[in-house]
Structure 1
Amino acid sequence: MSNGDYTRQPSPPTPPLPLPRNHRYSPAMVAAILLSALAMTLIVGVRYLIASGGFSLATRVRQPGLYRGQGRQIGREIGWSLASAAIYGIPAGVVAWGWQARGWTRIYEDVGRYPLWYLPVSVLLYLAAHDTWFYWTHRWMHAPRLFRIAHAVHHASRPPTAWAAMSFHPWEALTGAVVIPALLFLIPIHVGALGVVLSIMTIMGVSNHMGWEMFPRWMVRGPIGRWLITASHHQRHHEQYRCNYGLYFRVWDRLCGTDRGLGDFGRDFREKQV
C-alpha cells in the first residue's frame, strides 16, 4: 500500500447543537428588544419635536401671529404626539431588532440586489400602500362612535398647527403604527429608500397641518396639485370633516367621491384676527 492509503481523511463538520428552549427568550434578548423599542421611541419623539418645531418656527417667520392664542392647544398637541411616539416606536423598535438580529423583514442593504429603477419604485409602492391604509382607516375613524372615542382628539385642534401631526388618541395611533412595520415584511426596500419614505411621511404629516401652504401656487393649483395632497387640501378636511381623507395622494378621494377641493387659509386667519 502507498502512504496515501493511510492518510486520514478530514471528518465532516459537527452539526451545531440545538439551542436550549429557554435560549429563545433569554434575559439578554428581552433586554435587547426593550432597548431597541426604547431607542426607536426616542428617535420618533425627537424626530417629531425637530420636524414640528422647525415648521412651527417657519410659521412664525412666514405667517406671524398665525398661532396666536393657541398655546394651550399646542401643549395638548405635543402631549398626545409624544404619547403617540411611544406607540409608533415600540413596534418599530421590535422590528428593527428582528431585522438586525434575526434577519426579519425584506429590508436590504446591498444596492445591487435589485435593479436601480426599483429604488424609486419601492418608495412609490410604500407611499401608495400607506396612503391606501391611511385613507380607509381615516374614514373608519370618522364613524360616529369611533370619532367620539378616538378621532375627536385629533380634531380638537381647531385649526391644527404644525404640532398636530401626531396628536392622536392611542387607539388611532395604533392603527398608524402597524402599517410601515407590516410592509417591511411584504415589500423589499433598500434601507436608504426606507429613510426617504419615513422622511416624506414626517414632512407631509407636519406640513399638511401647519395652516399655510409651503408649496408654490402653480403647483398646488396646477395639474400636480390635482393629485398630490398639500396643506390646502387637508385644511378642507379639518373644516368639513367628512371629506379629503387621504395622506399623500388624492386618488382615493377622487375614486370614492370624497374630494372637496382646497381649504381657505385666509378665512381662518381673518377669523382669528377678529
Structure 2
Amino acid sequence: MVAAVILSALAMSIIVGVRYLLASGGFALATRWRKPGLYAGLDRQIRTEIGWSLASALIYGIPAGVVAWGWQARGWTRVYRDFHAFPLWYLPLSVLLYLAAHDAWFYWTHRYMHRPRPFRIAHAVHHASRPPTAWAAMSFHPWEALTGAVVIPALAFLIPIHVAALGAVLTIMTVMGVSNHMGWEMFPRWLVEGPAGRWLITASHHQRHHEDFACNYGLYFRLWDRLCGTDRGLGRLKEAA
C-alpha cells in the first residue's frame, strides 16, 4: 500500500510539473507573439521562477497523489464517475462551489502571507518576480506551496463532484493562475472594464496586487476584496519594450 501511495504521489507531481510547463510555456509563447519584448532582460528571473515552480509541483503532487490513490483504490473521496449520480444541473454548481471555496481559502491565506513575518519567510519568493511573468504562477516558497496544495484535495473529501467537473476546476485554476501573472491582458476591454470585470479577476486586477502588495488578494473573484475593503481596482500593465 505504501509503495502504491508513493508511486501515485510521484506520478501526480510529474503531471502537475508537466501541466505547469505546458501552460506557462504556452502563455509565454503567446506573450512573445502578442507582446514581443515584454520579457526582455528577465531570463535570470524566469529561470528562478521555473525552479521554484517545479519544486511547488512536487509539493502539489503529494496530496493530489494521495487523494487519487484513495479515490481509485478505496473510494474515500466524493469524486464520482456516474453522470446520473447527481442531477445534471449540479455539474456546473459543483464547479462554482469548488471555485468559491478555493477563492475564499486563497484570499485569507494570501492576505495572511502579507503579514511581515510570513511575507519575509515565504511570500517574498513570489513577489521577487518583478514584473511577474507567465512562468511565475507557481513560483512559491515550499511553505506557501503547501497552503495551496491542500485545498482542492481537501474539498474532494467534502463536496461531491464529477471527475470531469473536477478537471474543469483544475483547468480554470491553471489558466487563471498563469494568465493573471503574464503581464498583459488577454481578455477584451469590454469584459475587463464591464459588469463581469467588476467581479472577476484578470491580469489587470492582479497586476495591481504586484504593484501595491496590500490589496487585491483574490484568485478568481473580487468578492472578498470588495467585502473586506481591499479592492483597489485595476493595475497598469507594462508595455513591451
The normalised TM-score by structure 1 is 0.87
Structural mapping, 1:208-227, within 5 Å: 208-227=180-199
The within-5 A match list for 1:36-185 is: 36-185=8-157
Percent sequence identity over aligned pairs: 82
Matched residues in 2 for 1:260 and 1:63: separation?
26
Offset, 1:30 = 1.1
Partner AA of 1:269 in structure 2: E
Query: How many residues are matched?
Result: 241
Deviations 1:129-181 (A, max 9, x none): 00000000000000001000000000000010000000000000000000000
Q: Distance in 1 between matches of 2:67 and 2:171?
A: 18
Displacement of 1:269 in angstroms is 3.0
Show CA shifts across 1:73-123 (max 9, x none): 000000000000000000100110011101111000000010000000000
Aligned-partner Cα distance in 1 for 2:109–2:66 = 23
Match of 1:269 in 2: 239
Q: What is the CA–CA distance in structure 2 between the aligned matches of 1:269 and 1:158, rounded to whole Å?
A: 14
Describe the SS at the equivalent of 1:209: coil
Q: Which residue of 2 aligns with 1:230?
A: 202
Matches of 1:103 and 1:118, distance apart in 2: 21
Alpha-carbon distance in structure 1 between the residues aligned to 2:63 and 2:118: 23
SS in 1 for 2:144: helix
Cα displacement string for residues 32-53 of structure 1 (whole angstroms, at most 9, x for unaligned residues)? 1111000000000000000000
Moved segments of 4+, more than 6 Å: none
Tell me what 1:259 maps to. Answer: 231
Amino acid aligned to 1:102: R
1:31, distance to aligned residue in structure 2 (A) = 1.1
What residue identity is the alignment partner of 2:230? T
Q: Select 1:240's aligned residue among 205, 212, 222.
A: 212
Gaps of 5+ in 2: none
Larger radius of gyration between Structure 1 and Structure 2: 1
- Residues 196-215 of structure 1 aligned to structure 2 (within 5 Å): 196-215=168-187
Q: Which runs of 5+ in 1 are unaligned?
A: 1-28
Match of 1:22 in 2: none
* Structure 1 letter corresponding to 2:169: V
Q: Distance in 1 between matches of 2:239 and 2:202?
A: 18
- Which AA in structure 2 matches 1:182? A
Partner residue, 1:16: none
Name the SS for the 2:64 alignment partner. helix
Q: Secondary structure at the match of 1:269?
A: coil
TM-score (norm 2): 0.99
